[in-house]
């Protein structure tokens, strides 16, 4: 079975849906009453909605068509979901399912516009991870270290303080492991690992600006790959920004250096109320 196997890609998309739904179910109840987060399953996709935010990452559709169940009527239903929540725009991340080309045509006919894309990369976990020669030390974060994890993520991704308790709940959740990278005594970077069967997802990778270029990101990738192999995973996957002029490409370069291969590009389409 190859990295680009249709079966593996379908499982990767399904894992992404499961992980996202689990993350959205972690919002503390009192915070949920204020933020009003909502998810819906339409056809074979997952719709996430956060009325208090205009972020295209928070208001996004993933996995649509990955099992071949997408329809034009389902797209109209998705648009109606966002309109009812009074959201004026959202994004749809189009994965490598059997209907990808057809769905793209449907979206364009409805006024969706192409935006940035993500690249899906995968790696065989049986391959030996190259030796880390940096001075970076990586440890698995304990529950009491959730504050360190969130602090780094907030600094790197400009996460709003209003969602901090949601982030803390996610950092302490048992189904995802978080790893901290230390330069000396300083927590300089973070990365997450989630395992489902023989699949491992690497995400939430972030390095504080001051410590970039010192091997932090590479050390975090290597540590999680070794952990995934110990847990019996066959494949590891990650999504990162597709190469674009004027945008740093360090994450992708480090992933490829450590054995990941580009499998496909996942384009983003944006709908906006006119």
Q: Where are the domains of the chain?
A: 6-119+267-272, 126-233
Q: Which helix (H) or strand (E) holds 121?
A: strand 113-124
Taking only the tens place, the pLDDT of each residue in 67-118 is: 999 999 999 999 999 999 999 999 999 999 999 999 999 999 999 999 999 9
pTM: 0.94
- Find, among 196, 147, 139, the residue nearest to 169 by Cα: 147
- Looking at residue 243, its pLDDT comes to 81
Model confidence at 132: pLDDT above 90 = no
Give CATH for domain 6-119+267-272: 3.40.630
- Find, among 108, 137, 106, the residue nearest to 222 by Cα: 137
Asked if the domains at 6-119+267-272 and 126-233 fall in one CATH topology, the answer is yes
- Looking at residue 4, its pLDDT comes to 65
- What 3-state class would DSSP assign to 30? helix
Q: Output the CA–CA distances (angstroms, integers) from residue 68 to 72, 98, 189, 235, in the order listed.
A: 12, 6, 38, 23
Q: Domain 126-233 - what CATH class? A: alpha beta
**What confidence tier does 1 reach under pLDDT thresholds 50, 70, 90?**
very low
The partner residues of 47 in beta bridges, in order of sequence, read 40, 61
- Looking at residue 85, its pLDDT comes to 96
**CA gap 19, 17 in Å, rounded:** 6
The partner residues of 200 in beta bridges, in order of sequence, read 195, 236
């Amino acid at each position: 079975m190859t990295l680009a196997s249709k079966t593996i890609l379908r499982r990767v998309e399904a894992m992404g849906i499961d992980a996202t739904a689990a993350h959205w179910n972690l919002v503390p109840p009192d915070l949920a009453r204020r933020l009003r987060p909502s998810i819906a399953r339409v056809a074979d996709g997952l719709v996430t909605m956060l009325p208090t935010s205009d972020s295209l990452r928070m208001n996004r559709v993933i996995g649509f068509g990955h099992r071949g169940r997408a329809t034009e009527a389902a797209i109209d239903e998705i648009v109606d979901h966002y309109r009812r929540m009074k959201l004026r725009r959202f994004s749809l991340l189009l994965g490598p399912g059997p209907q990808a080309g057809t769905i793209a045509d449907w979206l364009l006919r409805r006024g969706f516009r192409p935006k940035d894309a993500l690249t899906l990369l995968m790696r065989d976990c049986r391959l030996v991870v190259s030796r880390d020669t940096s001075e970076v030390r990586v440890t698995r974060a304990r529950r009491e270290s959730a504050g360190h994890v969130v602090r780094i993520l907030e600094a790197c991704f400009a996460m709003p303080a209003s969602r901090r308790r949601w982030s803390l709940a996610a950092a302490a959740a048992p189904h995802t492991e978080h790893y901290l990278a230390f330069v000396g005594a300083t927590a300089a970077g973070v990365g997450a690992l989630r395992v489902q069967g023989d699949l491992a997802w690497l995400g939430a990778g972030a390095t504080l600006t001051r410590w970039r270029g010192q091997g932090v990101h590479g050390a975090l990738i290597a540590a999680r790959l070794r952990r995934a192999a110990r847990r019996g995973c066959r494949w590891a996957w990650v999504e990162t920004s597709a190469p674009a002029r004027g945008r740093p490409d360090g994450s992708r370069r480090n992933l490829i250096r450590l054995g990941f291969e580009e499998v496909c590009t996942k384009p983003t389409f944006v709908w906006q109320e006119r």
